[in-house]
Structure 1
Amino acid sequence: MAPLRALRSRGRRPGLALGALAVAGTAAFAPSASAPTAPTPPPRTGFETSHGARWTSGAEETAFLAAVGRASPRVRVDRIGRTAQGRPLRLVRIGAPAPATPAAVRRGDSVLLICSQHGNEPAGREACLTTVRDLARARDAATAHFLRRTSVLVVPTANPDGRAADTRGNADRTDINRDHLALATPEARAIAAVLRDYHPDTVYDLHEYRPTAPCYDKDLLSLWPRNRNTAAPVHRASTALSRDFVAPAARRAGFTTGVYGIWTDPVTGAPVRQVAGDGQERILRNTAGIKGSLGLLVETRAVPLAEAERADPARFNRRRVAAQRAGLKGLFAFLGRQRGRIEAATAAARTAGLADRGPVHLGGADNEPPAADRILTRPPRAYRLDAAQLARVRAVLTAHGVRWRRDGDGGATVPLRQSLRALVPLLLDRRAPHHLVAGTPSDH
């Protein structure tokens, strides 16, 4: 394994109040003393009304988003699916005005927030909900300018059944964040449809983790796409989002930071152990990178370490949400300052597959070179599927946006010459660790 790197942590103790996000580090999203007073009180989440004593319920989320949507033309709320237990999966579209269709989403300037894929990790969801409201209600010129140029997409609760049960998995106990290849769950299918239809340039995935003191106990950890099929410009921009924007924003707010999955020496900050963070293609941050989007996983510490926080769970809950909001501040600063870089990186990644050149990796990560037999140095030009195989994977190919053509015998040919070139072998090559069917390689 290649040498590990970790972000050092520093910073003061944070305040307990939820900080206002800022556009490009210059102006607050939330209304401030200098902003005109709203004629009606802003909608508040259940988390806010309880001062952090409990998390926002599903019914409260429904009412909250409806109120925000009614009050602002910047926000549209749509149902994009239903869970196994019938709960709605929602997509919130934000802009100035809110994009009416996928075609209206800003190319090069769009971001997708995925909140609470794991139902027992609620802090990111609370940060997403209040961010939706703050973007909708802000009256400062900087926010209006930002939203005229940027489309913000939010899935506020990606796992409603798991959130209701306070479980990591969904109603079937499936980890949604290991289902972004096979799309066996309604939750993953809904997210895949958003990726396919809206082509967000940045995918920001909010989670929480359990620390191991003293080597793995930072307030906020982040990690970029490590799958080796991620285009180099997308990989570089994603690591910059983590290293140069999200982590510094969290530190400025008084939170400690690090790289997800990397234990560090508490004195020197040197990496000592890797416990997570591989390049597995089923994980959303990696799937996003393979599909040509910048990706970032963000994890806040879900277990209190200080005595005051153990004695006052609501205080600690507010701290968790504040850390997520600090990370979001860094994300929006990145979007405001790096538009050209983001657009160039994603455009290059999404057109590279049309050239149909270069290897495809079936394993490894950016810090772990794959074995030789895990690299398709000369991939086939296509994979042939018989009729039975096509029947098994047709819906998945369609959900991902993979192109294929039907053959005369009822099967299909799936070419590699397409935008999602690297995804095709991961789905159809028998050597890929999570392939769905073993297609027949073809050079015709």
Structure 2
Amino acid sequence: MYTDAQGNALTVASAEAARAFDHAIEGFLKYRFDAGLRLKAFITADPSAPLGQVMAGSFAMLAYDRGLLGRAAGSLAKAQALPANAREKAHMAALSAWIDGTPEKALSVWEQIVAEHPRDLLAFRLHHFCAFWMGAPERMVTLVEQVMPAWSDETAGYGSVLACRCFAHEETGSYTIAEHAGRDAVALDRGDLWAAHGVAHVLEMQGRRAEGLDWIAALEPNWDGGNNLMHHLWWHQAMFMAEQRDFDGVLRLYDTRFRNRESKVHLAQPDLYIDVQNAASMLFRLQLRGIAVGDRWEELAEKAEARIGDTLSAFTQPHWMMALAASGRRDAAARMLTALEDAARGNTHHARILRDAALPATRAVALHAEGRHDEVCDILRPALGDLHRLGGSHAQQDVLEQIFVDSAMKAGRQADARLALERAAAKSPVPPARRVGFAEAALAVAY
């Protein structure tokens, strides 16, 4: 019987295959650019290993791209045809639920796997990912605290568990626990992108902008070989700069780091959801502050138009609309809303999120671009309590709150502006008057 580095039984043909599995898992957890190649090496080492196919299907699902559903289903079918132990079969059940559009069922299966196998890093990390993008950070915290007693710094992968502990607690407002966990993970590996990211979120939420810039600058030399999570960390760097009103610096980072417009390579960049969110939300924030962004919307709008009808990522929908609306593509924007309305008519958990949160947020973006600010307020106000269900961090969700407060001010709706400021004050220890997206409203409206 072979086991992985955490002691879980593996259905593999050799010790070499078991170590190839560990190498692939490490690449996934540490956000390495070659994670896909590591997985390919594992499958090559043992084509009959069921978790190789489960990982291949999961990697396809992680992209939130409807065009990859067939690939994920094909990998699942291959896995189901192979001999497997009970834990590996449970992984197949979770992947099946995810592919079928019921990620809430997948969460429950992963939770059961981890209850029985607290060192199962694949189940733990996939749960962390999906719970986050389903707006359920409390489930992230519950699971990480459940497994912590089974881990120590002598166990392979401990730093990745600490990194997840950091982000889970940051998203639920336990900033002290979060920061300690993240810094401990970075002490174990200064190239741990997820841990660096979690601490950056803490510094963002606490308004520690100078520290945030220093944190990223100090760690960046350790990021060689990382994947596009580096783009998101540079987005955080831009967020710190924006709060210091260094808008020229933000645009430089956009062009040379997280969108890299100065390289021809950017034209062939995949439309991966997190990269789109980074780019669109930053351009939108800049425009709210009256900063001209030139033709930067165009390549995003091209990608957005090509993805109309792909609603797997609820939080990406309003970001696609930002690009379509800002580039004047009204016909495409209308088609996107129609497709989103169709997807929201279902009776699944995801369809309800689209209906209650993604659809009003996406409509509001389109209306905001047309200057119809009363309508923005009418649509967004009843949906504010549901926006968290879109997934995304507090820092990312903030752009949707800024749309509401901006329209409230422009429509002269002081009650709505006051509501927006009260929400902003409740979500962050940093007063709205010290946050660039809310400062003007805070000076004008008593709250």
Q: Flag the structure with more relative contact order, 1 or 2, with Cα contacts below 8 A and sequence separation at least 6.
A: 1
Q: Which has the higher strand share?
A: 1
TM-score by length of 1: 0.29
